[in-house]
Amino acid sequence: MIPALALRVEVEPAAADALSDALIEAGAESVAIEALDNPRVTLNALFRQAADPAAALAAALRDCGHPATLPFTLSALAEEDWVRCSQAQFAPAQVGRLWIGASWHLSPADAGHVVRIDPGLAFGTGSHPTTRLVLEFLERTVRGGERVLDYGCGSGILAIAAAKLGAARVDAVDVDPKAIEVALENARANDIRLGAFLPGALGAGRYDVLVANILAQPLIALSPLLAAHAEEGAQLALSGVLESQAEEVMAAYRPYFELAVAQRDEVWALIAGRRA
C-alpha cells in the first residue's frame, strides 16, 4: 500500500478559504474545511507521499500574508484511506445546465451537460465558491458559438464547462505545465477539444468571453493582457477575489472594461463586465 499524508491545522474562520486555496497552490491534493460554526476552523489537507506538507503550509501562510506559523498535526494514510478521504471531500454540483461530478459519481438522468472532474494535481473541481461563481457566469453567458479564454485554468473545469455549453473555440492558459497536462487529460475524458498553453505560447487571438479565477494581485497584473485578448464587447469574469479586494481589482480593469461586482458567495466576489 502507498501511504499518503494528512495535515490538520486550525485557523480563524475568515482565513479558511484563502489558506485552503493557498495549500492547493502549494501542493495539496485536496483540502476539506470542517466546523465552520466553531470559533476556529479545521483544515484537512491531503498530500502525496513525496510531498513536504510542513513546507507547503509555510508557503501557503506566506502567500496569504499570515503573520506567523501555525501548529499542525501530520498523519499517514493507507492507500484505501487516501482514496476514501479524497472522494468524500467532493460532492457533485448542479449549476444551471451544468452537472459537475467526479468519475465515481452517478449523474442523474436529467443532468444536462455533464462535466467530469476528479480531484487531482490542479485546482478546480467546482466545489470552491470562486469556481462556482465563474461556472454560474458561464452558464448565464455562453449560448453557443463563442470564443472563450480561461486564463489560469488549473484543472480545466471552466474551459471544459464552456465547451460543454456550446462555445465554438476554447483556449486555456496556466503558468504550471502540470496544470496544462491535467486540463488536456480532463478535456479528453469529457470528450471535448480545447487548446491549452503556457502563457508565452498563447497566440494573439481575441475572444468573446474571458474568465480568470486566480487571486487578486495576479489578476491586477494581467489586466492589460486580458484586455488585449478581448474582442470589442467581450464579456469578462474575474474570480478568486475577496470582497475587500474587489475595488482594487476593478480599478485595474476600468481603463478597458465597464464592470461591477456581479455576484457574491461567502466572502468572495465575482467581478464581471464588458469590453468598452
Q: Which CATH superfamily does the domain covering 4-88 fall into?
A: ACT domain (3.30.70.260)
Q: Are 241 and 219 in contact (CB under 8 A)?
A: yes
Q: Which CATH superfamily does the domain covering 121-275 fall into?
A: Vaccinia Virus protein VP39 (3.40.50.150)
Q: What is the rounded CA–CA span in Å between residue 47 and residue 4?
A: 6
479565477: which residue's cell? 213
Where are the domain boundaries for CATH 3.30.70.260 in the chain? 4-88
- Interstrand relation of 4-11 and 30-34 (parallel, antiparallel or unpaired): unpaired
CB atoms within 10 A of CB 233: 9
Task: State the pTM of this model.
Answer: 0.71
Helices assigned H by DSSP within 145-271: 157-164, 177-189, 216-228, 246-253
| Residues in the chain where the model's pLDDT stays below 50 | 1-3, 79-84, 86, 121-123
Q: In this predicted structure, what is the pLDDT of residue 1?
A: 36
Strand partners, 273: 236, 259
Where are the domain boundaries for CATH 3.40.50.150 in the chain? 121-275
> CA separation (Å) from 271 to 140, 148, 170, 218, 254?
14, 17, 21, 14, 11
| CA angle (136, 149, 100) in 5-degree steps | 35
**Cβ contacts of 81 within 8 Å, gap of 6 or more:** 4
Q: Are 56 and 24 in contact (CB under 8 A)?
A: no
510542513: which residue's cell? 54
